[in-house]
Structure 1
Amino acid sequence: MSLSPRSAALTTYALSSPIHQSWESALADVVGVLRIQYRSDDDVRLFLDSAEKVRHLQQSIAAKMEWNRRVIKEEMDSGIHSPPRARRIAKEVAIDFIRRYLDGEEEKLSMYRRLQDIQREKEDTLSTVLEYEREMKKVKDENAKLAISNQNLREENELMRTDKDELKLDSQKLKTENDQSRDENDRLRLENGKLREENKKVRQENQDLRNENGALRSENQKVRVENQKLRDECDDVRGENVKVRSENQSLRDENQEVRCENLKLRDNNASLRDENERLRSGNGTLMSDNRKLIQDNLELNSREDEMRMLVNIQQSILAGKAGASKEALRLQQKSHNDDVVDDSS
């Protein structure tokens, strides 16, 4: 596998974001760790000690693509970005590509040795042919054997050419896989852009909800202030009722219905206090509680109007009865005076 540098730029995952690492920085972070971890492996250690080979690995498009693919897959699965995970993946990708590089070097070395053996055999064969040409007449049988040996060498050369074609096919497959990886990377970038747009919309909706929540809280505070005013007015009404009861102590029997009505008003005020407490405790959903509070305020205003009307009626009744009582006392006093005058006469 070739690790030669290329001038083409590689599209990496979210390079514009400052929190994501690049392949080069991640590999630079793990090279020292790999040297310590594989210090007992001579081939890997020699590769890592070579600055030229490490530089080729950093510039390898296939390694970058493989690292980007694994990082994107794990980040899409987990939903979060983790620099330690990116460095771990860089270490795994680096070891995989170093192993492939070493395997490729061993194959090249083996092929080179076979070529050297074939070359030596060819040279030996040529020298033998020269010697056999001098002794052609004597060694025709041996010359036939050499021809067979040459045929075997040709077959081996043909096999080597076949291996070379297979290597070309593998290179073509790698190019195809590289193109597919680029297409997948572009698709993932488009999906990432869509997810970012959707995230912006969700954030805007969240901000709108927060603004609406603030408005509801402000309106709820106003309603609480109005409720406090209503409570104060109810307290004033209670004070007035106490005064009326103290003034009308002598008329309890006649004002039984008024007292019953006052009891009903106190019950209504108690229910209003309970309702207000329920509204305070049940403020989990602001919209529904606000509508309920407005409805309760309307009912409270209606009841307050009724209560004021009843108090006014009660005061008018009491005023009329007090006037009637005064007139009866005046007439009684006049009758008494007349009786006294008659007696004196």
Structure 2
Amino acid sequence: MAPAIAAKGLRKSYGDKPVLDGIDLTVPTGTVFSLLGPNGAGKTTAVKILSTLITADSGEVRVGGHDLATNPQAVRAVIGVTGQFSAVDGLITGEENMLLMADLHHLPKKEGRRTAVELLERFDLTEAARKPASTYSGGMKRRLDIAMTLVGSPRIIFLDEPTTGLDPRSRHNMWQIIRELVTDGVTVFLTTQYLEEADQLADRIAVLNNGRIAAEGSAEELKRLIPGGHVRLRFTDPHAYRSAAAALREAARDDEALALQIPSDGSQRELRSILDWLDSAGVEADELTVHTPDLDDVFFALTGDTTLTTDQTKETVR
């Protein structure tokens, strides 16, 4: 199956400042692809180019099988966009916002009303449908925003930081909506500053930094790029602690806390090996904890001043 989005050598500059410096992206159909990066990294610029809102300086892009440069209208017919700032008109009702979108998509009156009713019900907005959108909570406005995006039945949806400013409950509700969209076969291109969000939702993640893709892969693949995983054993019996420390010479010692820190990738195989050793040595640890790098570690390593060099991270994880 052809990818939903394929970009090669995408470049965009504003004046003498390069924002996108030759990035390549491939988004498989029916998946969630998340673009991470610090403020100013170029995430929104990438979304605007891929959704035909602005033009790239150079590069080849196909969205939904259509060439972005030669057939932007065909691209617009298969995509939907929910930007950082809500497109909801607060002066009219939720229902009127939906009907306005139906008119913009040139749907017949009867079909437009049916679509509006169905989407308002799907997004749990039926009771508030005839109230001014200005009275909606942040979560309700975001749900209405996405419902409006779906009026044209897009197969590819760009969500640019869709949960910014939402409370935790509303954010989790939005995650469920995104999962349901993908279950229906929709492709979601997601930008976010919430690393947990990308970890929860994305099939693949690309980290954008200084206009370039620093690394790309699944969440687990990216986490394996970062060193620092370990197993921590804590003891209450000083004798057991000393015995374990003598045998596990590679472990870092914390004599005050009676704890040992053993380098580990957190795999089941390594954990089983440590537990088997404890059993065979007759040593009992009072507490065992496993730490593996998370996306926070990945983000800071790839976008900050860390021990990881560009050469170590520039290749896509396969």
Fold match (TM-score > 0.5): no
Ranked by relative contact order (alpha carbons within 8 Å, sequence separation 6 or more), the top structure is: 2
More strand by share: 2
Larger Rg: 1
TM-score (norm 2): 0.21
More helix by share: 1
TM-score (norm 1): 0.20
